[in-house]
């Protein structure tokens, strides 16, 4: 997960863009997480909106 976030952060313009990109990629199964995050998905209904 850290590598994914770090890689996305290199190209994103804001923290919100990082979060949106990571959530999108994980939930759409464009990337597969392993270890403690294996099979994880983000419930976008519970994410806080500033």
Containing structural domain, residue 20: 2-37
pLDDT confidence bin for 47, thresholds 50/70/90 = low
Domain count, the chain: 1
How far is 47 from 50, CA to CA, in rounded Å?
10
Residue 19 domain-assigned (yes or no): yes
Instruction: Give the per-residue pLDDT at 33.
Output: 87
Burial of 49 (0-12, 13-18, 19+ CB in 10 A): exposed
By the 8 A CB rule, do 42 and 26 touch?
yes
Residue 20 domain-assigned (yes or no): yes
Reported as a single tens digit per residue, the pLDDT across 2-34 is: 999 999 999 999 999 999 999 999 999 999 888
Residue 43 domain-assigned (yes or no): no
**How much is the pTM?**
0.79
| Residue, of 47 and 6, whose pLDDT is higher | 6
């Amino acid at each position: 997960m850290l590598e994914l976030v770090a890689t996305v952060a290199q190209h994103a313009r804001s923290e919100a863009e990082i979060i949106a990109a990571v959530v999108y990629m994980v939930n759409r199964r464009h990337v597969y997480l392993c270890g403690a995050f294996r099979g994880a998905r983000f419930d976008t209904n519970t994410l806080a909106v500033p």
